[in-house]
Amino acid sequence: VSLKQAGENRKEENQLYQTSVSDQRATVNILNKALDRLRQFYAPELAQVRAQEPGRAVAPRPDTPKDYAKSAGAGGVIQLIMKIVENAESAEKELEVGEQHSQALYSDFVKATTAAIEADRSAIAEKTAQVAATEAEKSETEAAQLANEQELSKLGDLLKAQHVDCDF
């Protein structure tokens, strides 16, 4: 019963895992498409953003405003989306590790339960053999007791016959 329940629980956990992984992969796929589109649109600005290394001095901004152009702040949005993609990928890896751990626990439980069932079956077989041997022994004892009672009856009859002969 507990093995069946554990199997059903494991099936539900696996279903949840499959759904979660599918969601994470869809999220990564959609965000990667959005990143590709943003990179196409903001390609010149991204080259400047990528060229910037941490710790380097930032080039000074121009003093005069220019005509309307693509937003230079797109790098922050792209970096944010990249961070979300990284988080989704790490969540998928964590789900995978959790699934492997759950599968290992379930496998260990099944092995332990199977071993217990086999031990119980062998104990039942052993006890059944003991019952059969005891029943056979009981039958032999009853047969011997019946033979003894018959022998006692014959001896009792012989004693009565002797007693009748002697009284005469």
pLDDT, tens digit, 9 for 90 and up, residues 98-142: 999 999 999 999 999 999 999 999 999 999 999 999 999 999 999
Please list, in sequence order, all residues whose beta carbon lies within 8 angstroms of the beta carbon of residue 89, skipping any fewer than 6 positions away. 24, 28
DSSP state of 56: S
| 19 CB-contact burial (10 Å; exposed 0-12 / middle 13-18 / buried 19+) | exposed
- Answer yes or no: is pLDDT of 73 > 60: no
Buried b (16+ CB within 10 A) or exposed e, 86-111: eebeebbeebeeebeeeeeebeeeee
Residue 35 has a pLDDT of 87
Nearest by Cα to 88 from 16, 21, 14:
21
Q: Token match 């059903």: residue?
A: 8
Residue 67 has a pLDDT of 59
| Average pLDDT score over the chain | 84
Cα 88 to its chain centre, rounded Å, is: 24
The predicted model scores a pTM of: 0.55
Residue 2 has a pLDDT of 85
Band of the pLDDT at 47, cuts 50, 70, 90?
Answer: very low
- Answer yes or no: is pLDDT of 76 > 70: yes
Residue 74 has a pLDDT of 55
Residue 135 has a pLDDT of 94
Residue 64 has a pLDDT of 61
Q: Are the C-beta atoms of residues 37 and 78 closer than 8 Å to each other?
A: no
